[in-house]
A and B are shown apart, each in its own frame.
Chain A
Amino acid sequence: MLRVEGLRRQVGVFHLRIDEWAIEPGQYLVLVGPSGAGKTMLLETIAGLHRPDAGRIWIDGREVTSEPPEALGIGFVYQDCWLFPHLTVRQNIDFGRRYHQKSGASPAPKTDELTDMLHITDLLDRNPQTLSGGERQRVALARALAIQPRLLFLDEPLGTLDPVTREHVGTELQNCHRSFGITTIHVTHDHSEARTYGDSIAVILDGKLEQMGPTDEVFRRPRTAKLGGFLGCENMYEAQAVPTAEPDMIKIDLHQTTFTVRSHKVGRVSLCVRAEDVLVERAAGKEGKDERDDYNIAAAFTGRIVTVSQPGAMVRLVIDVSGRRWVSIVSHSQQRQHRFCEGNMVTLRIPNDALHLISLE
């Protein structure tokens, strides 16, 4: 669908370097990266709004590197919408139609269909300045969809919205993707948003594409420690991995506990576990691991709960394990069942598939 090779663009001290990037047709890809990582610039460059210093871009197998933006058929929705203030909502949505009447075999979606789908039919004669944030975003989306784009770029589409509107608009984005099947790149700096909406995600840091893959894979198994930090992996510790007698098994010594895991990374490694994957249980009378889960659990530590807080819908536990800080996120029902309080002694258990090792050598 979209393929980018050796893309380079420099603005001031900032370098955008994308060596190889390809997107399958029909994908909903979330491009995530911190502010200033070059996400918007990358999209604008692909959309033909900037000329790259070097590199080539293909869309549907056709090279479009030096084509003007109007020839590409990319729908672009910015965070601030940029609805044309001197036109009504209907005129905004219909803005691009006159350029796309002849081309395209199947007819573009009608304005009424789009507005029905996005629930903005009663706004058609309004002035864009009178719309709320969510309404503006929907109109901008309808305007981009009206030209029946081959690719849809959404630049922080939910960035300025309040949490409730964010959820509504987010759902509509997914509905649109489902009904039109347009390959979509959704840019955000918020990794939880990326996790919610993306089939697959691509992470960009400092102008470089760090990792791309299925959402869960990228979140659980970041390629570098920096990436893990950005993606909100809260439990990251450096340790020494030593090979064992068995092939593919290594021995790790962490917090005065030694355990073996299946891996071939040896030497200095960063051990990386997402907070929501850490299983917590009250350390009851019996010590040690539960026999049933033995094959599944890589390691277990004992620690004391330092703080219990409730950000959003989850309960966040900060646990002190021999001087190191571990974070676990449990659901409210678990909290109700176990009643974790500050000062409780708990057992932390780390499942095999949640333990990710990043080689630091």
Chain B
Amino acid sequence: MDDEVERSFSSKEISTDAGIPLTGHSGRRVMLFILAAALLTAAHIVLAMAWPRLAQIILSPPEPTSSLPTPVKLNPNINLALYVGNLFLLGSVLLSRRALRFRNLLAYAVGYAVIVWLLWPLIWVMTENLLLLVLAVLVYGSLLHYPHLLGYLYLFLVCQRFLPAYLYPSFILTSLLYTTILPFVRAWRRERQRFIPLCHLAGLILLTVLLIPIVFFCTQSSPQDIHQRLEEAEVLSALGISLKTSALATLMVLLLGVPFAYAMVRRSFPARGLIDTLIDLPIVIPPPIVGITLLAFLGPKSPLGAFFEQRFGVSFFDSQWGIILAQIFVGSPYLIRASMVAFAAVDVRFENVARTLGASSLSAFIRITLPMSLRGILIGVILTWFRAMAEFGALRIMANRPRTIPILAYERFIDFRQMESQSVGVLILLMCLCVIVGMWIIRLMPNILGKSIGVSDAAR
């Protein structure tokens, strides 16, 4: 054991100090490398000299009448670059400290052939893309010790070769699949677990169906296009209205809904179950019906609407008040639910202890329960905020003006068809993606509560 440790240590030292391992076994490898390098050099020189004839034989298109540019000239610089790339790859294979078994070597050779096969045809289209091949070879050599990273390279190349139009969405999605599915494949093989990997696969299929159009759509507009949209007064004002009204709506839900959620969790009262179910009512009702209902109740022709109009000069039809009202209506369930879940996760005994230490119920709520459930509430705020911002159906009916972003996108689509509405759509989508990233970060926040629950469970 000690011997082994010492040996591994010393070999490490030698390789870092001298650059090349000098022991007997490694010496043979160096010899092998020099031999292979000589062969490679010879091959490249022959290639450079014989290129024009070779190109005629191998690369001539099947149909001479094809419009593609025929016999490509081999740029000597590219040949040189490719030579360096190959040499690097050879060095990585033969001089690596870890001994490569024949099977691995074969796998790498196949991989190399795949790269060449995938990228070679690009020469038909563009000579410059040979550089991509060189780059791939370099990357391939340096990835030798990280086999799982090679997967991403292959995925990129395959997407590039077969789905050039959908390169980015398909690459992002396939690499996502590859990342998450790899451990499950291992579990499948090792533990003969079948059910959970299958469940996972089902989820991934669903996620793919959801994500492919979105990612595809996002890659359809150029940043310049989006920037241009951001300079349009109409878009900016719609964005401002959307942000303002939805923020106000969220604030209202926050002020009323969070205390309500706390009461729902901590107290039992008559008809609690019914009220619990009623919270979800806005999710069930179709948005246009919400618009019609609110219009009937508070519209200019309704008694209450008329009263507000005369008494306070507040109209709920085609005004920001109407927008906020509709947004509160559709967005409230998300924050209330999220807060209820967060509060329920804080054991009442935390508050009990705080109470016996002298804190009033309000003080215990502010100093103990609120900080511990902050994460859940924040997630609820974001959900409600963006659900409010996304509201379209109800606004279309009761508060079409001032325009919010979804209304704007819809009107652009009706007036100018797809191309014009596209960049607005991408703008909104990007905002939503930022939100998702924000929620992800909140989820990554140190989970105070989870940890403490875990510990006490373990202690129990």
Contact = CB atoms under 8 A, between A and B. Distances in A.
A202 to B, nearest CB: 21
A72 B359 CA distance: 11
Contact of A84 (B356, B368, B460): B368
A95 B357 contact: yes
**Nearest 9 pairs between A and B by C-beta?**
A99-B358, A96-B357, A85-B452, A69-B355, A76-B356, A80-B456, A96-B358, A85-B448, A160-B459
Contacts of B361: 68
Contact of A82 (B347, B360, B371, B448): B347
B452 A144 contact: no
B355 A70 contact: yes
B455 interface: yes
A76 B448 contact: no
B358 A100 contact: yes
Contact of B356 (A69, A128, A133, A160): A69
A136 B460 CA distance: 13
Contact of A147 (B352, B357, B371, B460): B357
Contact of A129 (B350, B452, B460): B452
B356 A47 contact: yes
Of A47, A70, A99, A140, most buried by chain B (CB within 10 Å of CB) is A70
A49 B354 CA distance: 11
A129 B451 CA distance: 7
Contact of B360 (A68, A73, A75, A160): A68
B372 interface: yes
Given A70-B360, A95-B357, A99-B359, A85 B451 contact: yes
A144 B349 CA distance: 14
Interface string B428-460: 000000000000000000001101100110011
B372 A85 contact: yes
Contacts of A82: 347, 349-350, 352-353, 456
Contacts, number: 83
Nearest to B455: A129
Contact of B352 (A69, A73, A96): A69
Contacts of A160: 459-460
Interface string B334-354: 000000000000010110111
Interface string A79-99: 011111110000000011011
Contacts of B452: 83, 85, 128-129
A143 interface: yes
A7 to B, nearest CB: 18
Given A69-B352, A129-B451, 14 more contacts: A44-B352, A47-B352, A48-B355, A68-B355, A78-B349, A81-B456, A82-B347, A82-B349, A82-B353, A85-B448, A86-B371, A96-B357, A140-B353, A144-B357
Contacts of B353: 76, 78, 82, 84, 140, 143
Interface string A51-74: 000000000000000001110111
A80 B357 contact: no
Interface of A: 44, 47-49, 68-70, 72-76, 78, 80-86, 95-96, 98-100, 128-129, 133, 136, 140, 143-144, 147, 160
B448 A70 contact: no
17 contacts: A44-B352, A47-B352, A48-B355, A49-B355, A70-B358, A78-B349, A82-B352, A82-B456, A95-B367, A96-B357, A96-B359, A99-B357, A129-B455, A140-B353, A147-B358, A160-B459, A160-B460
Interface in B415-438: none
Contacts of A140: 353
A86 B445 CA distance: 12
Of B352, B355, B356, B367, most buried by chain A (CB within 10 Å of CB) is B356
Nearest to B450: A85
Nearest to B368: A84
B357 A143 contact: yes
B6 to A, nearest CB: 37
B357 A49 contact: no
A84 to B, nearest CB: 6
Nearest to A73: B358
A99 B452 CA distance: 26
A163 B372 CA distance: 32
Contacts of B352: 44, 47, 49, 69, 76, 78, 82
Contacts of A68: 355, 360-361
Contacts of B371: 86
B458 to A, nearest CB: 9
A75 B361 CA distance: 17
A86 B94 CA distance: 54
Nearest to A129: B451
A300 B23 CA distance: 88
A85 B372 CA distance: 8
B356 A72 contact: yes
B361 to A, nearest CB: 8
Contacts of A81: 456
Of B358, B363, B449, most buried by chain A (CB within 10 Å of CB) is B358
A70 B364 CA distance: 10
A189 B459 CA distance: 17
Contacts of A73: 358
A95 B455 contact: no
Contacts of A69: 352, 355-356
Nearest to A98: B358
Contacts of A98: 358
Nearest to B371: A86
A86 B355 contact: no
A85 B358 CA distance: 18
Contacts of A44: 352
Contacts of A48: 355
A351 B136 CA distance: 94
A73 B367 CA distance: 19
B449 to A, nearest CB: 7
